[in-house]
């Protein structure tokens, strides 16, 4: 089978890109041919399809906004490039990941015109929420339900900026009016039941199939090492609850935390650590691959303090695969990934005292190794590559027959 894999970034930018690349690798290992469509960028991984990639655009730049408005919502050049790639490669099926802004729903038109079935993995809430997070002004938000996207403008929910919020509201309004996704995507893939149920609640009519994310268990070995510290790996932005975690742990100076990640709140977080003289939190910046896994493998357990609706974070799966318990907020997809007392524990999101109590209670647990072993077993049963491949192939076969 020849599969067209589509994502707006063709380099390792975040969790969605990891799934994009690792799914490509998994399919190729099982004998399929995978071709790619994305945006050109100096950071891109090499691709034989590079000539078809759309021109690079930086939406964070404030110049030439007038020219970017239509480009943000609908990009005819992306449709033309997609058409050329289809004619050259003749794929059997298209598997979309994140396409908004940079590729846009314009690429769906040539796909359907050529009768190519389309599935899309949803890594966030971009189909229903203008800022993709269902999180505004430091709390969970569902004001835009029933297509009330004007709320995004009223509350400046995209980076706190008026113009960016208008564009995001226009994008979803156009998507709703012109039925870009409803008529041109055959099936959505959700990594969590939570996201699938949320889409249904918001009125998404297409079939949604839950297919869990996966990790290569051969690359992640169970570790019994314990160097006496905790680990948090996260994007450094407010919805991730990093400040809640820091405020909880700074009152426990004997418990060490290694904080890993980058993001818009990095400077303010580092300033807080310096101002409050927090000496038990070590900021390590961004880490990837073996270097990251080495740090996690020597921890007691990992903490995921998110205050937004997480979908199915890859780091939670990787921690389990390494045999590490997970302490996570009782919210979104995390609440279905972490089973209390089995592979970790749950705390009340945003509650500093509750988080502090949970850390203190479990830091000296005698059965951490046992819980870690159960975490590994869950990873082996639910998040293995073979199961993911079978489930994904079943999705492909379903839409091809349809």
The stretches of 349-384 forming alpha helices (DSSP H) are: 352-363, 368-382
**Higher pLDDT pick, 302 / 13:** 302
Give the phi and the psi of residue 383 in degrees, each rounded to 5.
Answer: -115, 25
Taking 3-state DSSP, the helix, strand and coil percentages for the chain, each rounded to the nearest 5, stand at: 40, 15, 45
Please write the tens of the pLDDT for every residue from 347-369. Answer: 999 999 999 999 999 998 989 99
The answer to whether 314 touches 18, Cβ cutoff 8 Å, is: yes
Residue 64 has pLDDT above 60, yes or no: no
* DSSP H helices in 250-322: 266-275, 289-297, 314-321
Could you give the C-alpha distances from 88 to 117, 197, 204, in angstroms and in order?
A: 17, 38, 33
Give the mean model confidence (pLDDT) for residues 233-241. 95
The per-residue pLDDT for 205 is 84
- Alpha carbons 79 and 216: distance in angstroms, whole number: 34
Q: How confident is the model over 291-308, as pLDDT tens digits?
A: 999 999 999 999 999 999
pTM of the model: 0.92
Q: What is the mean pLDDT of the chain?
A: 94
Instruction: State the pLDDT at residue 122.
Output: 95
CA-CA-CA-CA dihedral for 297, 300, 306, 309, to nearest 10: 70
């Amino acid at each position: 089978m020849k599969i067209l894999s589509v994502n707006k970034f063709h380099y390792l930018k975040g969790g969605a890109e990891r799934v994009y690349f690792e799914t490509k690798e998994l399919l190729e290992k099982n004998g399929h041919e995978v071709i790619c469509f994305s945006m050109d960028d100096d950071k891109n991984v090499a691709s034989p399809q590079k000539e078809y990639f759309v021109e690079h655009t930086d939406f964070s730049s404030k110049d030439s906004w007038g020219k970017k408005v239509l480009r943000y919502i609908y990009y005819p050049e992306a449709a033309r490039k997609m058409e050329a790639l289809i004619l050259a490669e003749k794929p059997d099926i298209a598997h979309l990941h994140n396409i908004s802004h940079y590729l846009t729903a314009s690429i769906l038109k040539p796909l359907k015109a050529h009768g190519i079935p389309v599935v899309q993995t949803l890594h966030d809430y971009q189909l229903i929420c203008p800022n993709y997070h269902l999180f505004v002004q430091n709390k969970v938000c569902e004001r835009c339900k029933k297509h009330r996207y004007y709320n995004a403008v009223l509350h400046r929910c995209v980076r706190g900026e008026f113009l960016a919020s208008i564009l995001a509201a226009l994008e979803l309004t156009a998507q709703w009016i012109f039925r870009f996704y409803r008529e041109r995507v055959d099936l959505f893939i959700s990594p969590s039941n939570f996201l699938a149920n949320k889409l249904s609640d918001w009125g998404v009519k297409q079939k949604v199939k839950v297919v869990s994310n996966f990790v290569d268990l051969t690359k992640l070995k169970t570790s019994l090492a314990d160097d006496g510290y905790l680990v948090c790996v996260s994007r450094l932005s407010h919805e991730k609850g990093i400040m809640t975690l820091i405020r909880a742990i700074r009152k426990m100076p004997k418990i060490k935390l290694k904080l890993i990640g980058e993001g818009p709140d990095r400077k303010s977080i580092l300033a807080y650590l310096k101002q409050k003289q927090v000496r038990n939190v070590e900021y390590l910046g961004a880490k990837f691959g073996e270097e990251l896994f080495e740090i996690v493998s020597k921890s007691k357990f990992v903490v995921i303090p998110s205050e937004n609706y997480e979908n199915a974070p890859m780091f939670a799966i990787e921690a389990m695969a390494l045999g590490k318990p997970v302490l996570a907020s009782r919210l979104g997809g995390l609440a279905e990934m972490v089973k209390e007392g089995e592979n970790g524990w749950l705390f009340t999101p945003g509650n500093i005292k509750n988080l502090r109590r949970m850390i203190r209670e479990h830091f000296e647990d005698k059965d951490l190794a046992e819980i870690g072993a159960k975490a590994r077993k869950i990873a082996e049963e639910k998040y293995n590559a073979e199961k993911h491949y079978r489930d994904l192939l079943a999705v492909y076969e379903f839409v091809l027959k349809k």
